[in-house]
Amino acid sequence: MKKFFTATLLIALSWTAFSQTTNDPAAKAILDGVSAKFKTFKSVKASFAYKAENAAGKQLAAKSGTLLMKGTKYRVSFGGQEIFCNGATVWNYDKAANEVTISNLDASSGMITPQKLFTNFYDKDFLYMLNGEKKVGNKVVQEIEMTPVDKSKPFHKVYLLIDKANKSIYSTKVLEKAGNRYSYTVSSMNTSTVIADTEFSFDKKKYPGVEEVDLR
Protein backbone atom coordinates (compact mmCIF):
# COMPACT_ATOMS: atom_id res chain seq x y z
CA MET A 1 0.00 0.00 0.00
CA LYS A 2 2.90 2.33 0.77
CA LYS A 3 4.27 1.96 -2.77
CA PHE A 4 0.84 2.54 -4.24
CA PHE A 5 0.39 5.67 -2.14
CA THR A 6 3.66 7.09 -3.41
CA ALA A 7 2.72 6.35 -6.99
CA THR A 8 -0.74 7.86 -6.73
CA LEU A 9 0.39 10.91 -4.82
CA LEU A 10 3.12 11.68 -7.32
CA ILE A 11 0.82 10.83 -10.18
CA ALA A 12 -2.01 12.35 -8.56
CA LEU A 13 -1.46 15.54 -2.63
CA SER A 14 -0.10 11.60 -8.90
CA TRP A 15 -5.59 9.13 -12.24
CA THR A 16 -13.98 1.91 -16.25
CA ALA A 17 -12.89 3.88 -19.22
CA PHE A 18 -15.89 5.66 -20.66
CA SER A 19 -16.76 6.37 -24.29
CA GLN A 20 -15.60 9.98 -24.19
CA THR A 21 -13.01 10.72 -26.89
CA THR A 22 -12.76 14.49 -26.49
CA ASN A 23 -12.38 16.67 -23.42
CA ASP A 24 -15.20 18.71 -21.92
CA PRO A 25 -14.55 22.47 -22.49
CA ALA A 26 -16.28 23.33 -19.20
CA ALA A 27 -13.97 20.97 -17.28
CA LYS A 28 -10.93 22.34 -19.09
CA ALA A 29 -11.87 25.91 -18.15
CA ILE A 30 -12.02 24.91 -14.47
CA LEU A 31 -8.72 23.02 -14.59
CA ASP A 32 -7.05 25.88 -16.45
CA GLY A 33 -8.22 28.23 -13.71
CA VAL A 34 -6.74 25.99 -11.00
CA SER A 35 -3.46 25.77 -12.94
CA ALA A 36 -3.21 29.53 -13.54
CA LYS A 37 -3.82 30.33 -9.87
CA PHE A 38 -1.31 27.76 -8.64
CA LYS A 39 1.42 29.19 -10.86
CA THR A 40 1.18 32.50 -8.97
CA PHE A 41 2.25 30.87 -5.68
CA LYS A 42 5.93 31.14 -4.71
CA SER A 43 5.58 28.41 -2.09
CA VAL A 44 2.92 26.09 -0.71
CA LYS A 45 2.51 24.28 2.60
CA ALA A 46 -0.45 21.93 2.70
CA SER A 47 -1.88 19.34 5.07
CA PHE A 48 -3.94 16.47 3.73
CA ALA A 49 -5.92 13.45 4.92
CA TYR A 50 -5.54 10.08 3.22
CA LYS A 51 -8.11 7.28 3.29
CA ALA A 52 -8.09 3.84 1.70
CA GLU A 53 -11.17 1.65 1.24
CA ASN A 54 -11.82 -1.69 -0.41
CA ALA A 55 -14.45 -2.25 -3.09
CA ALA A 56 -17.12 -2.88 -0.42
CA GLY A 57 -16.42 0.47 1.22
CA LYS A 58 -14.58 -0.96 4.25
CA GLN A 59 -11.90 1.41 5.50
CA LEU A 60 -8.40 -0.02 5.20
CA ALA A 61 -6.37 2.95 6.39
CA ALA A 62 -6.71 6.58 7.44
CA LYS A 63 -3.67 8.81 7.86
CA SER A 64 -2.57 12.40 7.50
CA GLY A 65 0.41 14.04 5.86
CA THR A 66 2.05 17.28 4.82
CA LEU A 67 3.31 18.64 1.52
CA LEU A 68 5.80 21.46 0.93
CA MET A 69 6.43 22.95 -2.53
CA LYS A 70 8.66 25.72 -3.80
CA GLY A 71 9.51 26.10 -7.48
CA THR A 72 10.64 22.66 -8.66
CA LYS A 73 11.32 21.51 -5.09
CA TYR A 74 8.97 19.45 -2.93
CA ARG A 75 8.77 17.42 0.27
CA VAL A 76 6.08 14.92 1.22
CA SER A 77 5.73 13.45 4.73
CA PHE A 78 3.26 10.66 5.28
CA GLY A 79 2.96 7.71 7.67
CA GLY A 80 6.64 7.03 8.25
CA GLN A 81 7.68 7.91 4.72
CA GLU A 82 9.33 11.10 3.52
CA ILE A 83 10.12 12.16 -0.02
CA PHE A 84 12.54 15.03 -0.59
CA CYS A 85 13.33 16.68 -3.94
CA ASN A 86 15.63 19.68 -4.34
CA GLY A 87 14.86 20.01 -8.04
CA ALA A 88 17.66 17.66 -9.14
CA THR A 89 17.84 14.78 -6.64
CA VAL A 90 15.07 12.71 -5.04
CA TRP A 91 15.43 11.03 -1.62
CA ASN A 92 12.79 8.50 -0.57
CA TYR A 93 13.10 7.74 3.16
CA ASP A 94 11.42 4.75 4.85
CA LYS A 95 11.35 5.24 8.62
CA ALA A 96 10.54 1.59 9.44
CA ALA A 97 13.61 0.36 7.58
CA ASN A 98 15.69 3.46 8.35
CA GLU A 99 16.65 3.44 4.68
CA VAL A 100 16.82 6.18 2.07
CA THR A 101 16.86 5.58 -1.67
CA ILE A 102 18.55 8.29 -3.72
CA SER A 103 17.91 8.92 -7.41
CA ASN A 104 18.18 11.68 -9.98
CA LEU A 105 15.08 13.59 -10.98
CA ASP A 106 14.69 12.92 -14.69
CA ALA A 107 12.64 15.78 -16.14
CA SER A 108 12.30 13.92 -19.44
CA SER A 109 10.95 10.71 -17.92
CA GLY A 110 7.34 11.92 -17.79
CA MET A 111 7.25 11.52 -14.00
CA ILE A 112 4.44 13.55 -12.46
CA THR A 113 5.67 15.72 -9.59
CA PRO A 114 3.38 17.42 -7.03
CA GLN A 115 3.84 20.71 -8.90
CA LYS A 116 2.58 19.18 -12.15
CA LEU A 117 -0.50 17.86 -10.37
CA PHE A 118 -1.65 21.41 -9.73
CA THR A 119 -0.78 22.75 -13.18
CA ASN A 120 -1.43 21.36 -16.66
CA PHE A 121 -0.78 17.64 -16.16
CA TYR A 122 -4.29 16.86 -17.39
CA ASP A 123 -3.96 17.93 -21.03
CA LYS A 124 -1.91 14.99 -22.30
CA ASP A 125 -2.50 12.21 -19.79
CA PHE A 126 -6.27 12.23 -19.24
CA LEU A 127 -9.71 12.64 -20.72
CA TYR A 128 -11.98 14.64 -18.45
CA MET A 129 -15.54 15.83 -18.04
CA LEU A 130 -17.48 18.02 -15.60
CA ASN A 131 -20.09 16.08 -13.62
CA GLY A 132 -21.67 19.14 -11.98
CA GLU A 133 -21.61 20.89 -8.61
CA LYS A 134 -22.45 19.87 -5.05
CA LYS A 135 -21.99 21.10 -1.49
CA VAL A 136 -19.43 19.58 0.86
CA GLY A 137 -19.83 21.19 4.26
CA ASN A 138 -19.91 24.92 3.56
CA LYS A 139 -18.04 24.60 0.26
CA VAL A 140 -19.46 24.45 -3.26
CA VAL A 141 -17.31 22.00 -5.21
CA GLN A 142 -17.19 21.08 -8.87
CA GLU A 143 -16.64 17.40 -9.67
CA ILE A 144 -14.44 16.48 -12.60
CA GLU A 145 -14.28 12.85 -13.75
CA MET A 146 -10.98 11.78 -15.31
CA THR A 147 -9.82 8.66 -17.12
CA PRO A 148 -6.19 7.94 -18.06
CA VAL A 149 -5.29 7.79 -21.72
CA ASP A 150 -2.78 5.04 -20.89
CA LYS A 151 -4.94 2.01 -20.08
CA SER A 152 -1.99 0.18 -18.49
CA LYS A 153 -2.22 2.41 -15.41
CA PRO A 154 -3.18 0.57 -12.17
CA PHE A 155 -6.19 2.88 -11.76
CA HIS A 156 -9.12 3.36 -14.11
CA LYS A 157 -10.80 6.53 -12.85
CA VAL A 158 -10.06 9.66 -10.84
CA TYR A 159 -12.52 12.18 -9.39
CA LEU A 160 -11.33 15.69 -8.62
CA LEU A 161 -13.36 18.02 -6.40
CA ILE A 162 -12.51 21.65 -7.10
CA ASP A 163 -13.36 24.35 -4.56
CA LYS A 164 -15.35 26.70 -6.77
CA ALA A 165 -14.76 29.81 -4.66
CA ASN A 166 -10.98 29.72 -4.49
CA LYS A 167 -10.17 27.62 -7.59
CA SER A 168 -8.16 24.97 -5.78
CA ILE A 169 -8.20 21.19 -5.59
CA TYR A 170 -10.18 20.13 -2.52
CA SER A 171 -9.93 16.36 -2.89
CA THR A 172 -8.83 13.58 -5.21
CA LYS A 173 -10.27 10.06 -5.28
CA VAL A 174 -8.40 7.34 -7.18
CA LEU A 175 -10.22 4.13 -8.15
CA GLU A 176 -7.84 1.21 -8.56
CA LYS A 177 -8.61 -1.52 -11.08
CA ALA A 178 -8.35 -4.10 -8.29
CA GLY A 179 -11.28 -2.40 -6.54
CA ASN A 180 -9.59 -0.38 -3.81
CA ARG A 181 -10.23 3.35 -3.51
CA TYR A 182 -7.78 5.98 -2.30
CA SER A 183 -8.76 9.53 -1.44
CA TYR A 184 -6.73 12.61 -0.55
CA THR A 185 -8.44 15.64 0.96
CA VAL A 186 -6.69 18.95 1.51
CA SER A 187 -7.35 20.08 5.08
CA SER A 188 -5.31 23.29 4.95
CA MET A 189 -3.13 25.21 2.50
CA ASN A 190 -0.80 28.13 3.16
CA THR A 191 0.51 29.92 0.09
CA SER A 192 2.35 32.76 1.82
CA THR A 193 4.68 30.84 4.13
CA VAL A 194 8.47 31.17 3.78
CA ILE A 195 10.17 27.80 3.28
CA ALA A 196 13.95 27.37 3.50
CA ASP A 197 15.64 25.47 0.66
CA THR A 198 17.19 23.09 3.21
CA GLU A 199 13.71 21.60 3.77
CA PHE A 200 13.92 19.91 0.38
CA SER A 201 17.19 18.02 0.84
CA PHE A 202 17.72 14.89 2.94
CA ASP A 203 20.15 15.53 5.81
CA LYS A 204 21.48 12.14 6.93
CA LYS A 205 22.85 13.68 10.14
CA LYS A 206 19.24 13.91 11.32
CA TYR A 207 18.71 10.16 10.72
CA PRO A 208 21.33 8.26 12.75
CA GLY A 209 22.31 4.90 11.27
CA VAL A 210 20.35 5.43 8.06
CA GLU A 211 21.23 3.07 5.21
CA GLU A 212 21.70 4.80 1.85
CA VAL A 213 20.81 3.12 -1.44
CA ASP A 214 22.26 5.34 -4.14
CA LEU A 215 20.74 4.68 -7.59
CA ARG A 216 22.31 7.68 -9.34
pLDDT digits (tens, 9 = 90+) for 113-145: 666 666 666 767 788 999 999 999 899 999 999
Domain CATH for 181: 2.50.20.10
Query: What b-and-e string marks burial along 186-204, b requiring 16 or more CB atoms within 10 Å of the CB?
Result: beebeeeeebeeebbebee
Give tens-digit pLDDT for 144-153.
Answer: 998 888 888 7
CB-based contacts of 206: which residues, under 8 Å, 6+ apart?
A: none
Give the pLDDT of residue 39. 85
Are the beta carbons of 131 and 150 closer than 8 angstroms?
no
The DSSP secondary-structure symbol of 4 reads H
- Ramachandran assignment for 23, one of left (phi > 0), alpha (psi -120 to 50 degrees), beta (any other): beta
Is 89 contained in some domain?
A: yes
Structural domain count of the chain: 1
Phi then psi for 33, rounded to 5 degrees?
-65, -40
Q: Is the per-residue pLDDT at 18 higher than 50?
A: no
pLDDT band at 19 (very low <50, low <70, confident <90, very high): very low
Is 154 contained in some domain?
A: yes
Is 156 contained in some domain?
A: yes
More confident residue, 151 or 209: 209
C-alpha–C-alpha distance, residues 213 and 140, integer Å: 46
Is 41 contained in some domain?
A: yes
Give the pLDDT of residue 148. 85
Is 52 contained in some domain?
A: yes
Give the pLDDT of residue 140. 97
Is 215 contained in some domain?
A: no
Is 213 contained in some domain?
A: no
Is 111 contained in some domain?
A: yes
Domain that holds residue 88: 2-15+18-208
